[in-house]
Structure 1
Amino acid sequence: MSPRGAALREATKVQDRGWAWMVLLAVVLLQGLTLGFPSCIGIFFTDLQRDFHATNSETSWFPSIMVAVLHAGGPLCSLLVKRFGCRVAVMLGGLLSGVGMVASSFCTSLSELYLTAGFITGLGMCFSFQAGVTSLRYYFVRWQALANAMASTGVSLGLTLWPLLSQYLLDEMGWRNTFLIFGGILLNCCVCGAIIRPVQLASKSLLHPARPGEQPGREAEETQLANGGSSPHPKVQPARRTACFQVLKKYLAFDIFCQNKGYQIYTIGVTWMMLGFALPHIYLVPYAIHSGVEERMAALLISVIGFINIFIRPLTGLLSGLSFFTGRRIYLFCLAVLLCGLSNFICIISAKFSVLILYCVPLSIAMSGIGALLFQVLMDVVETDRFSSALGLFTILESITLLTGPPLTGFLVDITRNFHFVFYTSSFFLISSALFMGFSFCALERKRKLKEASNAPLGNSSKRQCNEILTEPLSERQSPPAEDRITNI
């Protein structure tokens, strides 16, 4: 049998059946272990403050660095997957995240905690999560949408279980021993990575790294130049600069940002939104404890948010998939952001446990909508074949505000001695970003309709055909991307 025939037979064996569902289970666990993990950090906030004699601003840098690196490491993860494959990337991520948490249990200062639990663990979780989700692209074709939807339930499970486990271990053995146990738990990402078998598909897309000499043509040359290798051409330096430019263009879509108004508005709006999006996750538990709520009950608030997410996130995905929302998902997303901002005012009314439980209901519904639609809307505003590079710039910019938002808000709380400013700040950024994106996309839509009206000399049939093309979903009129890098919140 020819090599191409053998590859086709191998691809048929693994896709959409058999071992593919074991890979899906592994990805569900990966999402719960990685994306769900930062939700429990707020439970340790008060203990870390007390042990390190730190302010709110200083303590909040720890979860901020972790979440920022978790998002910003996407382009680096993509390069790692391309060079070594999904299995190696996931297992390396599990090793880094586990070692980072084990090392954090021995930290004697917050600056050491920033490096170990913040940077090292955050980068490891980024590798495990993104490489795991990328592997679904190789194992599922017909059921790929279903597989991605099922995999996202792992985030909700993690949001539900991590806080409960964290509070129990914290009460029994303190935060240092808890971090040590967390390191062992996160090493299970390596087990999940081992389940992702290396497979060569018929399309010559590799789930395992290419052997030396297998990478053909110009791609091999660009990769060699990007890695600092020798050039077969006489003009080595210009060729290297060209290769570096091609790599930046592939993974950081500055050209799309300058030319595509929809992508520009959406990226600016989401980047602004992230200044307030993560604040309730980090400060809700400290706020409840500071207001007299028992620590176990305060930890339960995050679990309530995760539990509601389990049911609302899939429903939001199904709702956004209706034909009515085709081309209008951005407005559904803005509505979710607006609801998230408005819900914060419930916390300002009262800090009683019953009121905080009531607050968790609209907050979790809104966060489910944001999480389910964040990258779906990005797919709507960017051409499919440039989605991977657009996602790279998108995640890096949002990670900057995810990094700076909580410490700046913590500094404000330290000055005012009032936790209400956390929710005032969060509401301001969320509501303003929702209004900015909503009105901006309305203006773009109005401009497009005026442009269509100016094409009146065209024949009716030609105009009808043009309108059909403009309203047709991107996924139906463009070929699948050559490479995907998927992330989530």
Structure 2
Amino acid sequence: MAHEGEAAPQISRVQDKGWAWVVLGATVLAQGLSLGFPSCIGVFFKDLQRDFQASNSETSWFPSIMTAVLHAGGPLCSIVVERFGCRTAVMLGGLLSGVGMVASSFSQTISQLYVTAGFITGLGACFSFQAGVTVLGYYFTRRRALANALASTGVSMGFTLWPLLSQYLLDEMGWRNTFFVFGGVMLNCCVCGAVMRPLSAKLPALSLKSSPGHLAEDVHLSNGNTLSHEVHLRRSRCDSCIQTLQKYLAFDVFCKNKGYRIYTIGVAWMVMGFVLPMIYLVPYAVLNGVEERKAALLISIIGFINIFMRPMAGLLSGLKIFTGRRIYLFSVAAAFNGLSNLICAISTEYSTLVLYCVVYSISMSVLGALIFQVLMDVVEMNRFSSALGLFTILESITILIGPPLAGLLVDLTGHFRYVFYTSSFFMVTAALFMGFSFCTMTAKNKSKESHKPTPENTSRGKYTEVPTELGPEKNGSPAVIYVTSI
């Protein structure tokens, strides 16, 4: 216990100041390199389709796999972080991303591209992004909300710069050499990870590789008050498997918490349509006579507006008027985003496409700012990490199948316009499902409270605000969580 008393002042000296801001800068860059990267894939769509003689559906599997692995790799990233720390996870992610892109430049078939640029690069981006977000929780306490808001601008900057860089390099040297160069660019994530010094190196009693539960267990072990390592090793594989699933995938929360179940299903359905414009907008514009560089600029417009709109959306959602109502703001933004896709389907004039990008990016910013805040509202924070694991797994499945199905629709009809109709359908129906379901659930809960106010039942499945800040005694060692973003 003496070690804990000595360690706390040391933690306070490094948090929220000094090197913490260097770590924040590295996280911004890592987010731009990793999560922002899939935004440029549409630039290469037609070239890949031509060189590999692949259909729209076959070509769209490549970005689908990359984006799905980026989301689904959350539990694996969490295990790596707990085992080796955030610095190692970010550097490993940069190495995987770089190797994946270099290997993809030598791909001879579209199937090889699925593995190299899709799976390997996607997993590397997942490690770099999610471990980078996690480390902010250790370096920031009082200014953690500000740090996460600033870090999210890295994604928006990635959306802005990646398409422009991609189009320029594609015109100059072709997609193979461009992918080779991208491999070197992605290795900069290793540099970002190198500056993320683990606090555990100085404070062994507060190791970053342990969550609060593990930390308490380690303290008990050091005092001889718990089972020895030999007893832990004798646990059955079945018990270990159940504990692992409960830790990283909250199936029990999904079954018991109606609000979490509605929100998870709604978002999983929504992302089937949400990712489609980012993949098909550039080839849609090029096919309708827009010059390739101007088409790539459309994605950059979306990213540029996101730089300013995401922090504003975060501040807006923090107003008291939205307390307990963020899910409805999220649903409205999803419906607005879906309806905006009809602008693309109506006209292919470049000015109309620019207008579409502006409208789309505003609603996209609100969705990106609220998606995990709403999840925190419907799930207790002590189960947030495992609830997020199941949330991202289900989300990744629909992300994986959405673009190929849309590509198949294009192959059958011959019109990209149907992609945007499909996107509108998924977004609007998901918004209606979540909005009406939560409204009905809230009304039923109020009715039950008025007739039979039982404290044990009023919290189950009810949409309420759950405190997101840890208590003062836990600020030194926040839980290791994995976070994804739209």
The normalised TM-score by structure 2 is 0.91
C-alpha contact 2:210 2:480 (8 A) present in aligned 1:
no
2:238 corresponds, among 226, 238, 241, to 241
Instruction: Find the counterpart in structure 1 of residue 333 from structure 2.
Output: 336
Measure the CA separation in 2 of the matches of 1:356 and 1:218: 61
- Out of 270, 273, 276, the position equivalent to 1:273 is 270
Q: 1:443 to 1:136 in 2, by over 3 A?
A: same
What is the match of residue 27 of structure 1? 27
2:77 aligned with 1:77, yes or no? Answer: yes
Change (3 A) 1:40 1:219: farther
Equivalent residue, structure 2, for 1:345: 342
Q: Determine if contact 1:288/1:351 at 8 Å carries over to the other structure.
A: yes
Distance 1:154 1:451 in 2: 45
Task: Tell me the distance in 1 between the aligned counterparts of 2:204 and 2:133.
Answer: 19
What does residue range 15-54 of structure 1 map to in structure 2 within 5 Å?
15-54=15-54
Mapped partners of 1:13, 1:61: distance in 2: 48
> Residue deviations 1:396-439, cap 9 Å, x none?
00000000000011011001001111001100000000000000
By how many angstroms is 1:242 displaced? 1.1
- Cα distance in structure 2, aligned partners of 1:65 and 1:219: 42
Q: Note if contact 1:199-1:208 (Cα within 8 Å) is conserved in structure 2.
A: no
Q: Which residue type is aligned with residue 115 of structure 1?
A: V
The equivalent residue for 1:127 is: 127
**Counterpart of 1:317?**
314
Secondary structure of the equivalent of 2:467? helix
Q: Which amino acid aligns with 1:216?
A: D
1:268-417 map, 5 Å: 268-417=265-414
Distance 2:297 2:469 in 1: 46
> Relative to structure 1, is the Cα distance of residues 437 and 17 closer, same or farther in structure 2, using a 3 angstrom cutoff?
same
Q: Return the letter of the residue paired with 1:17.
A: K
Cα displacement (A) at 1:198:
1.5
On the 8 A contact 1:198/1:208 being kept in 2, the answer is no
Whole-angstrom distance in 2 between the partners of 1:56 and 1:249: 39
Distance 2:108 2:411 in 1: 23
Q: CA deviation at 1:121?
A: 0.2
The CA distance in 1 between the partners of 2:324 and 2:191, in whole Å, is 40
Question: % of aligned pairs identical?
Answer: 66
Q: Is the 8 A contact 2:381 2:467 kept in 1?
A: yes
- CA shift in 2, pair 1:218/1:116, >3 Å: farther
Superposed displacement of residue 214, structure 1: 12
Distance (Å, rounded) in 1 between the aligned partners of 2:94 and 2:463: 43
Instruction: Please state how far the C-alpha of 1:352 moved relative to its aligned partner.
Output: 1.1
Question: 1: distance between equivalents of 2:409 and 2:403?
Answer: 10
- Range moving further from structure 2, 3-12 or 81-90: 3-12
Q: Is the alpha carbon distance of 1:103 and 1:375 closer, same or farther for their aligned partners in structure 2, counting shifts above 3 Å?
A: same
Q: Which ranges in structure 2 are unaligned for 5 or more consecutive residues?
A: none
Partner in structure 2 of residue 255 of structure 1: 252
Matched, 1:66 2:66: yes
In 2, the alpha carbon distance for the partners of 1:304 and 1:371 equals 16
Supply the AA of the counterpart residue of 2:105: S
Q: Is the 8 A contact 2:442 2:463 kept in 1?
A: no
Change (3 A) 1:54 1:218: farther
Q: Is the 8 A contact 1:32 1:155 kept in 2?
A: yes
CA contact 1:85–1:209 (8 Å) conserved in 2: no
* Cα distance in 2 for residues equivalent to 1:291 and 1:64: 24
> Hey, what's the Cα distance between the residues in 1 that align with 2:27 and 2:124?
15
User: Given residue 247 of structure 1, which amino acid in structure 2 is its aligned partner?
Assistant: T
Structure 1 residues 426 and 471: alpha-carbon distance in aligned structure 2, compared to 1, 3 A threshold: closer
**1:428 equivalent among 421, 425, 429:** 425
Q: 1:473 aligns with which of 447, 465, 468?
A: 465
| Aligned-residue offset at 1:452 | 1.7
Alpha-carbon separation, structure 1, partners of 2:463 and 2:418: 43
Cα distance in 1 for residues equivalent to 2:347 and 2:221: 59
Q: Measure how far apart 1:241 and its partner are.
A: 1.3
Q: Which residue of 1 aligns with 2:442?
A: 445
Distance 1:105 1:472 in 2: 49
Change (3 A) 1:233 1:476: closer
Q: 1:187, 1:199 → 2: CA distance?
A: 24
Judge conservation of contact 2:82–2:480 (CA < 8 Å) in 1.
Answer: no
Whether the 8 Å CA contact 2:378–2:464 is kept in 1: the answer is no
Q: After superposition, give the CA deviation of every residue in 1:296-316 in whole Å (9 maximum; x if it has no partner).
A: 000000000001101111110
**What one-letter code is carried by the residue in structure 1 that aligns with 2:427?**
L
Q: Secondary structure at the match of 1:327?
A: coil
What is the alpha-carbon distance in structure 2 between the residues aligned to residue 127 and residue 476 of structure 1?
24
Alpha-carbon displacement from aligned partner over 1:94-122 (angstroms, at most 9, x marks no partner): 00000000000011110000000000000
Instruction: Give SS of 2:236's match.
Output: helix
Distance in 2, Cα, partners of 1:431 & 1:471? 21
Q: CA offsets, 1:247-277, max 9 Å, x none?
A: 1001000000000000000000001111111
Partner amino acid, structure 1, of 2:11? A
Looking at structure 2, the residues matched to 435 and 445 of structure 1 have their Cα atoms a distance apart, in angstroms, of 15
Counterpart of 1:488?
A: 485
